[in-house]
């Protein structure tokens, strides 16, 4: 066969391939225009090009309107609810240690007992401090008597001003020494700094304790602080004073109300979460420090159009859907916000109840005339495109 015949056959095959490609491949019209081909050639190769040139509306390869299946667009609410796991702590908690060293002579509370602020919970041996306080008291009394005698002599001009001032200074020094001795005596008693519940007592009478020995741990659990961590996308939505609902893992079914007490000032870079602290009322003393909680918060949220995953198509320019308007196909670019197994939330110019194509997309071009098929769609070919990840 001569070379010119082979060339003609090759050109014919290429032309047929271009024609089929332009008629059946979605987005072919846009690619032909991007190649800056003449409008006439685009109109021949692609039905969409013919429509844009003022010709008859594009149809499928057999000259009929394309059969499609559609689903209505719905509106879905996202970022309207937050669920997180938190850890509970007493609103106030303190480990009580002695102010001084010595032997325990009394332990006046039991584990789990409720105490009041200022209540004595234990005592150290105090004989030495009591004697020191009595001596300081005697010295104070002697200094006071001396000052009284000098005052009477001063009125008779029988004592110098210097002696009188020395007596006054002596009385003040004796009073300060007495105060110090009484303070040391009081510190032999170990008291509760505030009201609360005593934890397990781990010391006994006769133990020698120091200023670092733990006598008892007292928790004020009239309210519980719950620390939890929220995803970064909620960082600007959580504010102090907002209400939360907490369910203790140990008490399923019981909901405890509370409010956000504090929000951390930075995002944790490793977990990309924000620490939040809520305050939960505990009037019946049902909650304990250290409990874990399921925390729920509600927000206004954001509404986005929701489409069937089969409706989302892809091209070199990005994702899009085919919307049916007036019996013709219209391409609408979309930005995917959230994927779910049964729906995809998108940011696009779509209204509720707009009809988007889910089956039969492979024959569509901008302006294609369509017929919506109802009922069994098994006769339709597959979509021919996959949704990107």
Domain that holds residue 355: 57-77+302-389
**Residue 338: C-alpha distances to residues 37, 68, 372 (Å):** 38, 25, 28
- Higher-confidence residue of 18 and 269: namely 269
Residue 223 lies in a domain: yes
Q: Is residue 181 part of a domain?
A: yes
Let me know whether 261 and 245 are in one domain. Answer: yes
Residue 178 has pLDDT above 90, yes or no: yes
Residues 338 and 382 both lie in one domain: yes
Calculate mean pLDDT across residues 347-355: 87
| Better pLDDT: 281 or 151 | 281
Residue with token string 């200022």: 118
Predicted TM-score (pTM) of this structure: 0.59
Look at residue 380 and tell me whether its pLDDT is greater than 70.
Answer: no
**Residue 264 pLDDT > 90, yes or no?**
yes
Give the pLDDT mean for 238-250.
Answer: 91
Tens of pLDDT, residues 43-57: 555 554 444 444 444
pLDDT of residue 317: 83
Residue with the bigger pLDDT between 57 and 254: it is: 254
Q: Judge whether 212 lies within some domain.
A: no
Residue 113 pLDDT grade (very low, low, confident, very high; cuts 50, 70, 90)? very high
- Asked whether residue 100 is assigned to any structural domain, the reply reads no
User: What's the pLDDT at 215?
Assistant: 93
Residue 314 pLDDT: 87
CA–CA distance, 2 with 38 (Å, rounded to integer) = 32
- Pairing between strand 370-372 and 66-72? parallel
Domain shared by 277 and 307, yes or no: no
Q: Give the model's pLDDT for residue 90.
A: 93
Strand partners, 258: 244, 280
pLDDT of residue 57: 47
- Res 50: pLDDT: 46
pLDDT for position 340: 80
More confident position, 149 or 226: 226
| Predicted pLDDT of residue 213 | 93
* 271 inside domain: yes
Q: Is the pLDDT of residue 1 over 70?
A: no
pLDDT of residue 338: 82
CA distance 115 to 54: 91
Is a pLDDT exceeding 70 seen at residue 360?
yes
Which pLDDT tens digit goes with each residue over 133-167?
999 999 999 999 988 888 877 766 667 777 778 88
Together in a domain, 320 and 175:
no
Q: Provide the pLDDT confidence category of residue 68 given band limits of 50, 70 and 90.
A: confident
**Considering its fold, how many domains does the chain have in total?**
4
Distance (Å, whole) CA 87 – CA 81 = 19
Work out the mean pLDDT of the chain and round it to a whole number. Answer: 82
Task: Please check whether residues 332 and 317 belong to one and the same domain.
Answer: yes
Q: Angle CA(120)–CA(283)–CA(200) in degrees, nearest 5?
A: 40
Buried b (16+ CB within 10 A) or exposed e, 97-119: ebeeebebeebebeeeeebeeee
CA 294/CA 85 separation, integer angstroms = 5
- CATH number where 310 lies: 2.40.420.20
What share of the chain has pLDDT > 70, as a percent? 80
Same domain, 341 and 381: yes
Q: Which of 2-6, 150-154, 201-205, 257-261 has the lowest mean pLDDT?
A: 2-6
Find the angle CA(11)-CA(16)-CA(22) to the nearest 5 degrees.
125
State the pLDDT confidence band at 382, using cuts at 50, 70 and 90: very low
Q: What is the pLDDT of residue 191?
A: 94
């Amino acid at each position: 066969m001569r070379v010119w015949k082979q060339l003609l056959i090759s050109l014919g095959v290429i032309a047929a391939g271009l024609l089929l490609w332009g008629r059946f491949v979605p987005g072919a019209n846009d690619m032909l225009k991007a190649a800056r081909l003449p409008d006439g050639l685009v109109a021949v190769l692609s039905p969409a090009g013919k429509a844009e040139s003022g010709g008859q509306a594009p149809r499928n390869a057999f000259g009929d309107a394309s059969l499609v299946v559609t689903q209505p667009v719905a509106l879905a609410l996202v970022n309207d609810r937050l669920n997180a796991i938190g850890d509970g702590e007493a609103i106030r908690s303190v480990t009580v240690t002695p102010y001084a060293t010595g032997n325990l002579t009394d332990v006046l509370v039991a584990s789990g007992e409720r105490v009041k602020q200022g209540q004595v919970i234990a005592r150290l041996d105090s004989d030495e401090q009591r004697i020191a306080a009595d001596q300081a008291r005697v010295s104070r009394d002697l200094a006071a008597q001396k000052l009284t005698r000098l005052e009477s002599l001063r009125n008779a001009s029988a004592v110098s001003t210097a002696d009188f001032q020395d007596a006054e200074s002596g009385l003040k020094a004796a009073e300060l020494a007495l105060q110090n001795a009484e303070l040391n005596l009081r510190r032999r008693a170990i008291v509760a700094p505030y009201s609360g519940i005593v934890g397990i007592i781990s010391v006994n009478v006769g133990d020698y304790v120091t200023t670092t020995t733990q006598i008892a741990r007292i928790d004020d659990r009239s309210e519980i602080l719950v620390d939890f961590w929220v995803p970064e996308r909620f960082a600007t939505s959580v504010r102090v004073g907002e209400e939360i609902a907490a369910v203790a893992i140990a008490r399923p079914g019981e909901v405890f109300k509370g409010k956000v007490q504090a929000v951390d000032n930075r995002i944790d870079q490793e977990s990309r979460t924000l620490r939040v602290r809520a305050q939960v009322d505990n009037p019946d003393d049902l909650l304990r420090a250290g409990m874990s909680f399921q925390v729920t918060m509600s927000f206004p949220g954001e509404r986005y159009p929701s489409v069937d995953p089969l409706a989302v198509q892809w091209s070199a320019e990005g994702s899009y859907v085919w919307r049916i308007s007036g019996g013709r196909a219209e391409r609408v670019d979309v930005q995917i916000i959230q994927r779910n197994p049964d729906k995809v939330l998108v940011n696009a110019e779509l209204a509720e109840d707009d009809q988007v194509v889910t089956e039969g997309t492979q024959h569509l071009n901008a302006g294609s005339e369509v017929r919506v098929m109802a009922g069994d769609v098994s006769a339709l070919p597959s979509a021919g495109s996959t949704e990107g990840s």
